Amino acid sequence: MATRQTQFLARALLSPAVLLLFIWMIVPLALTIYFSTLHYSLLDPGSESFVGLDNYTYFLTDPAFLASLQNTLVLVGSVLALTIGLGIPLAVLLDQPVVGRNFVRLMVIAPFFVMPTVSALVWKNLLMHPVSGLFAWIATSLGLTPIDWFTDAPLLAIIFIVAWQWLPFATLILLTALQSLDEEQKEAAEMDGASATSRFIYLTLPHLARPITVVILIETIFLLTVFAEIFVTTGGGPGLQTTNIAFLVYSQALIQFDVGSASAGGLVAVVIANIVAFFLVRIVGRNLEA
């Protein structure tokens, strides 16, 4: 396939996709940068004026920014810890000889296919409601006081919901990786006298290092922009307790109609995501050569 004719054709076929993605990436981003230097409120149209970096100063020194940055990091960190911490044992369990493994697998994967608005509302109402939720009933039956999740521990509640959605993803990837572990390697280790525990530590865990990295990076990309779960449960509150950067930018743009500082916030989000993306792209790129 290396004749001149095919090469020309190949370029012609590639260009629409490249062009579209280029426009998709450049135009809005350039506009965001442009807006971020303006005083621009949708409530007060026609009053746009250049304000330099004022929006950044405003956004970055706003207590809401620090709170939302903290919430974002706590949310991402906790969900990562939960999904990987539970995902590894779960994957190992599913890799065992289990009767009806395919069915169990289906049950475990299911939450990933539930749309975010549905999982958030089902958890919020049916499970975590302080009076009629199932958790409240379990707590009362055990003689405990039910937790009012969205008042007393709203961020934790959202962490649980998001972790439930992403646990299947982590498990599925780790399970796929486990299943690609060479059976003969395990047998060789067994012949070498390694116990089940040392086989796990010296063989399985190192084998999982790369998939775990992939899970961390991909989940981070998505978790940085968790939105719907907050939108339908707490609306960022109470106060700022569940506002993450994505939600803060949204509320500044579409609730307070402050285009300028929302754009500045958007760019901050882009910078944070790019730091993660940088590492992910490198890992994927390395794999492309192998």
Partner 1 sequence: MARKVTARHVAISTLAAWLVGFLIFFPILWMVLASFKTELEAFATPPSFLFFHWTTENYATVQERSDYLHHALNSVIIAGGSTLIALLIAVPAAWSMAFSPTKRTKDVLLWMLSTKMMPPVGVLVPIYLIYKNAGLLDTRAGLIFILCLGNLPIVIWMLFTYFKEIPKDILEAARMDGATVGRELIYVLTPMAIPGLASTLLLNLILAWNEAFWTLNLSTLDAAPLTTFIASYSSPEGLFWARLSAASTLAIAPIMIIGWFSQKQLVRGLTFGAVK
Partner 2 sequence: MGRITLEGVQKSFGPVHIIKGADLDIADGSFVVFVGPSGCGKTTLLRLIAGLEDVSDGKILIDGKNVVNVPPAKRGLSMVFQSYALYPHMSVRGNIAFGLKMAGLPKDEINRKVEAAAATLNLTPYLDRKPRELSGGQRQRVAIGRAIVREPKAFLFDEPLSNLDAALRVQMRLEVTRLQKQLGTTAIYVTHDQVEAMTMADKIVVLNGGKIEQYGSPIELYQKPANLFVAGFIGSPKMNFITGPDAAQRGAATIGVRPEHLNIVGDGQGWPGKVMVAEHLGSDTFLYVDTGAVGTLTVRCAGEKGVKPGDQIALQPDPNRVYRFDGSGNAIAA
C-alpha dihedral over 279, 270, 241, 115, to 10 degrees? -80
Site string for partner 1, 167-196 (x = CB under 8 A): xxx--xx--xx--x--xx-xx---------
At a CB cut-off of 8 Å and minimum separation 6, what does 111 contact? 119, 164, 165, 167, 168
5 binding partner 2? (CB under 8 A) = yes
Binding partner at 191 among partner 2, partner 1, none, C-beta below 5 to 8 Å by kind = none
Question: Pick from partner 2, partner 1, none: which does 185 bind, CB < 5 to 8 A by kind?
Answer: none
Indicate whether 10 belongs to the interface with partner 2 (CB under 8 A): no
Residues ≥6 apart with Cβ < 8 Å to 251: 236, 243
> What Å distances lie between residue 226 and 41, 250, 258, CA to CA?
25, 12, 21
- Interaction partner, residue 134 (partner 1, partner 2, none; CB < 5-8 Å by kind): partner 1
CA separation for the pair 247, 74 (Å, rounded)? 15
4 binds, among partner 1, partner 2, none (CB under 5 to 8 A by kind): partner 2
Nearer to partner 1, 75 or 177 (CB): 177
Q: Does 3 bind partner 2 (CB under 8 A)?
A: yes
Please report whether residue 8 would count as binding partner 2 according to CB under 8 A: no
The token duo for 170 is 């982590």
- Under the criterion CB under 8 A, does residue 141 sit at the interface with partner 2? no
Which of 255, 225, 243, 229 shows the shortest CA–CA distance to 63?
Answer: 243
The site for partner 2 (CB under 8 A) is made up of: 1-5
